[in-house]
Structure 1
Amino acid sequence: MHVRTLTGGLTAALLVSLSLTAGQAVAAPAATADASLAARVFTYDASGSAEFRSAVDRGAAIWNESVDAVELRPATTGQRANIRVLADNGWPRALPTTLGNGTVYIGRQAVDQGYDTIRISAHELGHILGLPDRKPGPCSSLMSGSTAGTACTNPYPNAAEKAEVEDNFGGLLVERAPAGRPEMIVD
């Protein structure tokens, strides 16, 4: 996992050192702190994801490896999760409610057609993290979804997708709700 640091906005306390050379007091330059910035933690409940449980866990791990501002963790027993992940017989889709919250459906229809389960999981979690579909698109774009074809198994967000998630959550103090009512994103 990346080292989470906050740069540019914080300055360490000014350190003053006295130099005995020539009897002058000299102020040391301000030191910048590499203060750790805690990632926004969102929990997910994959208990309803059936045979896709390991793909969901891997999709979440990919996001954890890819961005610093967000961490996806499995919900503990009895804990209310930010993200529910369910398996069904339809097409994969996501229903974001607010940024970092919502429901993901891992649809068996796409899996039966040959689409990669880990790519599907990472893609749908990307919607919950605020990313739209980018269709048509190449395999190098996670959010190109099904338009990359069944041969595409790339489950990793590209640099632009990572940056967008970092922007969505970096320094975010309050939850932002999408404008209007929640919209189902069907891939």
Structure 2
Amino acid sequence: MHVRMLTGGLAAACLMSVSLTGGQAAAAAPRTADAPLAARVLTYDAGGSAEFRSAVDRGAAIWNESVDTVELRPAAAGQRANIRVLADNGWPRALPTTLGNGTVYIGRQAVGQGYDTIRISSHELGHILGLPDRKPGPCSSLMSGSTAGTSCTNPYPNAAEKAEVEGNFGSALAGRAPAVRTGVIVD
């Protein structure tokens, strides 16, 4: 009985809406708030990363596996990249300019001390994606950086770090830019 009353009421509502639109069926506009946003594609140029090229590519792939709102891709030949990755003899660091843009240095000093190159790459890319250092911290926190020690080889962001990047880029995709952290971030 309840089903008949519901379907009868639904039919009456449909007839009423057809009569209000002049006998033409009107489709409801799609709800954009419920539609998933496409990932923002960021390109990176690892041409200057020397012996760390494969670690940089793996660090980018880890972020691609971990978040949906941003995708890191190698820049095509001649394309200006959002992120430049360079190798040098100093300590690893990132110089974000705006969210998703900047320069990463994979420093040989940390590698020489025994730190994992893929963790370094993933960590420094995390800064470009808007994450700060979280020191001291456990190995389970990618952004704990060097405070997790040389035995830590975990290159994956934890749930909170993933959520923060999703929020940063989800807001940016929806037209709300998060606060930008600029300046040199060492480690």
Do these two structures clear the TM 0.5 threshold for a shared fold by scoring above it? yes
| Structure 2 residue 80 is matched with structure 1 residue 80 | yes
The alpha-carbon deviation at position 35 of structure 1 amounts to 3.9
Structure 2 runs not aligned, ≥5 long: 1-6, 15-27
SS in 1 for 2:103: strand
Per the alignment, residue 125 of structure 1 pairs with 125
Q: Which of 178, 181, 184 is equivalent to 2:180? A: 178
User: Where in structure 1 are there 5+ consecutive unaligned residues?
Assistant: 1-20
**Cα distance in 2 for residues equivalent to 1:23 and 1:89:** 74
Q: Which of 8, 11, 25 is equivalent to 1:25?
A: 11
Hey, what does 2:59 align to over in structure 1? Answer: 59
1:26 and 1:137, CA in 2 relative to 1: closer, same or farther beyond 3 A?
farther
Instruction: Specify the SS of the correspondent of 1:170.
Output: helix
Identity %: 83
| Contact kept in structure 2, 1:98 and 1:176, CA below 8 Å | no
Shift of 1:25: 1.6
Deviations along 1:88-116, one digit per CA (max 9) or x if unpaired, are: 00000000000100000000000011000
Which of 1 and 2 has greater Rg? 2
CA distance in 1, matches of 2:114, 2:10: 74
Offset at residue 176 of structure 1 (A): 5.6
Q: Could you say if the C-alpha distance between residues 112 and 27 of structure 1 is closer, same or farther in structure 2, counting changes exceeding 3 Å? A: farther
Which residue of the partner structure matches residue 158 of structure 2? Answer: 158
Post-superposition offset of 1:51: 0.4
Deviations 1:132-180 (A, max 9, x none): 000000000000000000000000000010011011110413656737x
Give the structure-1-normalised TM-score. 0.80
TM-score (norm 2): 0.80
Q: 1:78 to 1:159 in 2, by over 3 A?
A: same
Q: Does the 8 Å contact 2:131/2:165 carry over to 1?
A: yes
Rounded Cα–Cα distance in structure 2 between residues aligned with 1:139 and 1:24:
57
Q: Where in structure 2 are the equivalents of 1:3-14 lying within 5 Å?
A: none
SS where residue 150 of structure 2 aligns? coil
Contact 2:43 2:75 in 1 (8 A): yes
1:103 equivalent to 2:89? Answer: no
Tell me how large the CA RMSD over aligned residues is: 2.4
The structure with more helix, counted as a fraction of residues: 2
